[in-house]
Amino acid sequence: MNDRLFIFDTTLRDGEQVPGCQLNTVEKIQVAKQLEALGVDVIEAGFPISSPGDFNSVVEISKAVTWPTICALTRAVEKDIDVAAESLQYAKHKRIHTGIGTSDYHIKYKFNSNREEIIERAIAAVKYAKKYVEDVEFYAEDAGRTENEYLARVVEAVIKAGATVVNIPDTTGYCLPDEYGRKIKYLMEHVNGIEKAVISTHCHNDLGMATANTVNGVLNGARQVEVTVNGIGERAGNTSLEEIAMIFKCHKTLGITTNINTTKIYPISKMVSSLMNMPVQPNKAIVGRNAFAHSSGIHQDGVLKNVQTYEIINPTDVGIDDNSIVLTARSGHAALKYRLEALGIKLESEKLDQVYQDFLKLADKKKEINDDDILVLAGADRAANHHIKIDYLQVTSGVGVRPVASLGLNIAGEHFEAAASGNGPVDAAITALKKIINRQMTLKEFTIQAISKGSDDLGKVHMQVEYNGHEYYGFGANTDIIAASVEAYIDCINKFKDKVL
Ligand code: KIV
Ligand code: ZN
């Protein structure tokens, strides 16, 4: 029989404590809705006493989300609990998460207290929270460095006081996997009344062991895991949601199931990374750019024959559309053909031979060949089906003159023209484009990259444009970098949900 593991997501509380990654309420609601679609059981929405913004976010998330439990964090302080209860007033399912430090470091240096007094404060906090909500979770901060015997006494006392969930945080990320597993086992075996509560893991990644510790906690009896998307969080972060979900999905013999719809993992990873401006490391398990990219010729050959030779996860299971093989100079003809077909391009064998020769030349200059390079090499006419196309573009620029651009566009068969000056030639061309399109759009990101080092080669431009609350990504490639920039902008506009003209 399979055991259900509850997923408690703390991206919006512990994850959001990363400096520079704060989200506003609207962004938090966006993430919370995605978390709901992903299937998490609990959303820790904030620490309401900490700021009016946090309070408001818990209120608004409570209104926006239906079935996951909404949880608010507090210290073992009555005022904190009052404010948390108020912030949860609209939640359909609500939980207060209260707690106190239990390691000798915390008891002595943080609270200048003693073990007995801490137990009394823990009991009082749980009882106080129980006046407001039925579902009360208690955290024993720094449980990872708390002596097991004393920890068992704390856990027993808070369960007796009414805690429905008891969280055992490895706050400093200090524990070894075996040590953390034994801690959970000790509690399961020594706490009277343990069956009345769910034991939860909450592991930090300071020594890179958060996921291993969490898995060991579950194997020893924990049935809730506290995790964040992309493993974000203070310092080295928290246990990553996607790793835990995929570990138990891949290792079915462990008999643990979650409610996670794993196909939503990649989209939410992207969303969190972009909203928090927190790039995902390329080799991050499950969601890193290279997680499913095989670059060695031997691996590519194996994967093309049978994916199971080198892959334990089907990329589509985590919401990645295709198996993005990174092509290099060692890649064969078959790998290029496969990649082109995945991009929707089928070439006659003669044309394929020719593209392969160009590919080898480019791969000699560039370490990795990506999809855009391949599309350019294959001569795929990116603009063929575009609603908006460039008819002409002329730019005058130089030293001591203000750049001027005149632009002609074909929009669904009709011709439009505009001219503009700008700070630079790209600015002039984009300003002319905006005169014709006349929409409130903001350029968010603009990167120019040369395909190879030669001055006669193609330049690639990636752009991100915000329009009407949505972000659009565009690409342009041209030997003229200004034309490539306009193409990239037009590529974004062609993707707008409402048609231009
Ligand atoms: O790491 C920790 O101990 C915490 C608690 C506040 C739950 O985040
Ligand atoms: Zn934490």
Atom 2 in ligand 1: residue holding the nearest Cα:
171
Where along the chain do its domains lie?
Answer: 6-250, 324-378, 386-493
Distance CA 238, CA 146 (A): 19
pTM of the model: 0.69
Distance 390 CA to ligand 2 centre (A): 53
| Cβ of 137 less than 6 Å from ligand 1 | no
| Cβ of 169 less than 6 Å from ligand 1 | yes
Ligand 1 site-directed mutation target among 202, 225, 226, 234, most atoms within 8 Å of CB: 202
Residue 79 to residues 86, 129, 174, 218, 241, Cα–Cα distance (Å): 11, 11, 31, 33, 31
Segment-wise mean pLDDT, segments of 10 residues, the chain, 501 residues: 91 87 86 96 98 95 97 98 98 98 96 97 98 98 98 98 98 98 98 98 98 98 98 96 98 97 91 80 89 76 78 87 70 84 76 89 77 70 71 94 95 94 95 94 80 56 85 77 92 82 64
Considering every ligand atom, which ligand is closest to the CA of 44? 1
Q: What is the pLDDT of residue 452?
A: 47
Q: Which CATH architecture has domain 6-250?
A: Alpha-Beta Barrel (3.20)
Cβ-Cβ contacts under 8 Å for 134 (sequence gap 6 or more): 164
Pairing mode of beta strands 414-421, 404-411:
antiparallel
| Cβ of 14 less than 6 Å from ligand 1 | yes
3-class state of residue 200 by DSSP = strand
Contact yes or no for 58/51 (Cβ under 8 A): no
Distance CA 73, CA 435 (A): 50
Contact yes or no for 53/87 (Cβ under 8 A): no
| Cβ of 171 less than 6 Å from ligand 1 | yes
* Core vs surface per residue 196-206: b (16+ CB within 10 A) or e: ebbbbbbbbbb
Domain 386-493: give its CATH code.
Answer: 3.30.160.270
Distance 238 CA to ligand 1 centre (A): 10
Q: Which two tokens stand for residue 174?
A: 């200090």
| Cβ of 315 less than 6 Å from ligand 1 | no
Q: What is the pLDDT of residue 282?
A: 85
Distance CA 452, CA 361 (A): 10
Q: What is the number of the ligand 1 atom nearest to the C-alpha of 139? A: 7
Distance 149 CA to ligand 1 centre (A): 20
Atom 8 in ligand 1: residue holding the nearest Cα:
14
Considering every ligand atom, which ligand is closest to the CA of 142? 1
Q: What is the number of the ligand 1 atom nearest to the C-alpha of 204? A: 1
Cβ-Cβ contacts under 8 Å for 133 (sequence gap 6 or more): 85, 88, 94, 95, 96
Cβ-Cβ contacts under 8 Å for 86 (sequence gap 6 or more): 48, 55
Cβ-Cβ contacts under 8 Å for 380 (sequence gap 6 or more): 343, 345
Distance 239 CA to ligand 2 centre (A): 10
Contact yes or no for 180/213 (Cβ under 8 A): yes
Q: Which two tokens stand for residue 157?
A: 């006392």
Q: What is the pLDDT of residue 199?
A: 98
- Single out the residue of 50, 28, 11 nearest to residue 237, CA to CA: 11
| Cβ of 141 less than 6 Å from ligand 1 | yes
| Cβ of 44 less than 6 Å from ligand 1 | no
Residue 138 to residues 29, 92, 270, 272, 477, Cα–Cα distance (Å): 25, 20, 32, 27, 56
Distance CA 70, CA 169 (A): 19
Contact yes or no for 468/484 (Cβ under 8 A): no
Ligand 1 site-directed mutation target among 8, 12, 14, most atoms within 8 Å of CB: 14
At residue 326, what is the residue type? V
Rounded to 5°, the CA angle 186-187-189 comes to 65
Going edge to edge, which strands form the sheet with 414-421? 388-396, 404-411, 414-421
Considering every ligand atom, which ligand is closest to the CA of 169? 1
Rounded to 5°, the CA angle 32-237-214 comes to 85
Dihedral sign, Cα of residue 19, residue 23, residue 28, residue 31: negative
- Single out the residue of 320, 239, 253, 329 nearest to residue 286, CA to CA: 320
Residue 344 has a CB neighbour count (10 Å cut-off) of 8
Q: What is the pLDDT of residue 241?
A: 98
Residue 103 has a CB neighbour count (10 Å cut-off) of 22
Distance 396 CA to ligand 1 centre (A): 59
Report the chain's C-alpha Rg in angstroms.
Answer: 28
Considering every ligand atom, which ligand is closest to the CA of 168? 1
| Cβ of 372 less than 6 Å from ligand 1 | no
Q: What is the pLDDT of residue 306?
A: 78
Atom 7 in ligand 1: residue holding the nearest Cα:
139
Considering every ligand atom, which ligand is closest to the CA of 200? 1
Q: What is the number of the ligand 1 atom nearest to the C-alpha of 14? A: 8
Residue with tokens 């996670």: 260
